A = this chain, B = another copy of it.
């Protein structure tokens, strides 16, 4: 291992000078800087992370806490995580991957040990038990997701309420009067994960305003569950012509079942999905959808955090505006007989 001292000796300067070249915290003459940089390159010097962290009480690491559960909206999580890692690097930070297995203890451990300078939490529940710790911590943090009480917290999320409203508006404009919402699995609502409830709220509020009838059904993924759910929907509301789906695992089954039942999309029935772009595009019918902007969410989360670490920025809730892309799965409602 090459050390600072060796670089200094090689360049004929003192250790502190090398340090200042590296950090830029004091002005250094061009000739000295070049000589030092040359030595660094020649010797293949990399500053020791531990020593740096100890001396500066900055680890340049951001902890990212992702849900252990691998059953749900996995691609979104993955996309966020990768975006976070990539963007963090451009700001000079590395990412420490934490699962929520340890629960709140992980927060204590990481803040307590100075392992990371800050945290990003994903999959935040409305009344998450980690929140009090974050509020009390001296380290900045950002949530991806929106808890019930955002006081003293910084959050980044898609505006799911607006997302719901947007879906309803689209279907209403096309003339649909009876709309069914195929939601996430019941477990997701029970955990009080904010996004599912907020979408529903947006859907309901706007439906009321536009005088649409709305029927909400949670749904596990897969064919069997979807078949059962669909049967109940048409049983209860035979005139349903519009669907809003917020459940990646239900999208394809829904399309297949509709087809199988002789209901053409979009001639007889319109489908609007809330899902990542890729799912919407790769489906058997190109789906009209509101995209979940995973990368954007990851990016914004990191940027908020870096701003805080730099002493800029403040607690703030960033809600990304949803965008609805019209594709092949939605069209004018059929004229009712």
Contact = CB atoms under 8 A, between A and B. Distances in A.
A112 B78 contact: no
Interface in A40-61: 44-54, 57, 59, 61
A108 interface: yes
A291 to B, nearest CB: 14
Contacts of A252: 252, 284
A283 B75 CA distance: 17
A112 B31 CA distance: 26
Nearest to A52: B50
A123 interface: no
A299 to B, nearest CB: 14
Nearest to A47: B113
A94 B86 contact: no
A97 interface: yes
A109 interface: yes
Contact of A97 (B47, B68, B81, B221): B81
Interface core residue of A45, A49, A77, A221 (most chain B CB under 10 Å): A49
A235 interface: no
A96 interface: yes
A27 B59 CA distance: 32
Interface core residue of A45, A48, A50, A253 (most chain B CB under 10 Å): A50
Interface in A154-173: none
A176 to B, nearest CB: 25
Given A53-B50, A282-B221, A284-B223, A101 B113 contact: no
A37 to B, nearest CB: 16
Contact of A96 (B51, B74, B94, B112): B94
20 contacts: A48-B114, A49-B50, A49-B59, A49-B113, A49-B114, A50-B54, A50-B59, A61-B96, A64-B97, A71-B278, A74-B74, A74-B79, A78-B78, A85-B98, A89-B102, A94-B98, A95-B96, A96-B97, A222-B281, A222-B282
Q: Which 10 A-B pairs have the closest CB atoms?
A: A50-B53, A46-B112, A50-B54, A95-B97, A49-B115, A97-B97, A46-B113, A49-B113, A78-B78, A222-B282
